[in-house]
Amino acid sequence: MPPAPVDHESRREDVSQAVWRVLAAKGFGGLTLRAVATEMNVSTGLLMHYFPTKRALVAHALDVLERSSAERPRRPRPQDGLATVRAMLLDLLPIGEDNAARNRVWVGSWDQALADEGLRAGQGERYARMRAALRPHLEAARDLGELPADADPDRLAATAVAFAHGLVLQALFDPQCFPEETQTAMVDAFVGTLGG
């Protein structure tokens, strides 16, 4: 018999936290009903009331990841133009433990995403949203004279997202080589060259 509805919400929150801990430690490859059940100290059978299939569990994990990303603390955006572009790029990087864990889980989600047309399109749209979020600030930078008058905000937005996510990868795989100061200096230098 499934648990009563009143238990359901708080149990679901427990499940979400357990899913997150499994993902952070083992990645999507280690995300199984058994691993989450062990993490929660409950039976796999109980968990199957919530996630009848592996795919349902993965879908929930992606929801948890989206929510964690949407709720992450962000740097202030005090002004328009390149200063805001800089802040937005820094917010994408694995600076600090929470941001490293979140990025690690995102990277881990891509194996499955590339093998599933719906998930692939979803990640493609996430990238499109990142570019769209940067674009107005690049336009403002151009209008403020921080960028050349013929700057192409669409291309620069794609280049900035590329730079930031490629830096995410190098920093995740070699954190000692990319401490916070190095990541920040690279962003500063990159934003500096946009104006060239």
Is there binding between residue 51 and a copy of itself (CB under 8 A)? no
**133 near a copy of itself, judged by CB under 8 A:** no
What does the block give as tokens for 98? Answer: 């929470």
Burial class of 159 by CB neighbour count within 10 A (0 to 12, 13 to 18, 19+): middle
- Least spacing, CB of residue 139 vs a copy of itself, in Å: 17
132 near a copy of itself (CB under 8 A): no
The least CB distance from residue 113 to a copy of itself, in Å, is 7
Residue with tokens 């929510």: 67
Residue 144 in the binding site for a copy of itself (CB under 8 A):
no
Residues 30-49 that bind a copy of itself (CB under 8 A): 30
Closer residue to a copy of itself (CB): 3 or 145: 145
Structure tokens belonging to residue 119: 């998930």
**Number of residues forming the site for a copy of itself (CB under 8 A):** 48
Pair 108, 26: CB distance under 8 Å: no
Is 195 among the residues that bind a copy of itself (CB under 8 A)? yes
162 binds a copy of itself (CB under 8 A): yes
Indicate the helix (H) or strand (E) that contains 64.
helix 54-70
- Which helix or strand (DSSP H or E) is residue 23 part of? helix 5-26
Q: Decide whether 46 or 107 has the Cβ nearer to a copy of itself.
A: 107
Do the beta carbons of residue 94 and residue 87 sit within 8 Å? no
Cβ of residue 145: shortest distance to a copy of itself, in angstroms? 15
Residue 179 DSSP code: -
Residue with tokens 């328009």, as numbered in its chain: 80
Tokens of 50: 């919530």
Binding-site member from 123, 135, 180, 184 for a copy of itself (CB under 8 A): 123
- Verify binding: residue 56, a copy of itself, rule CB under 8 A: no
Q: Alpha-carbon distance 27 to 54, whole Å? A: 14
Q: Which residues bind a copy of itself (CB under 8 A)?
A: 25-30, 104, 107-115, 120, 123-124, 127-128, 152, 155, 158-159, 161-170, 172-174, 177-178, 185-186, 189-190, 193-196
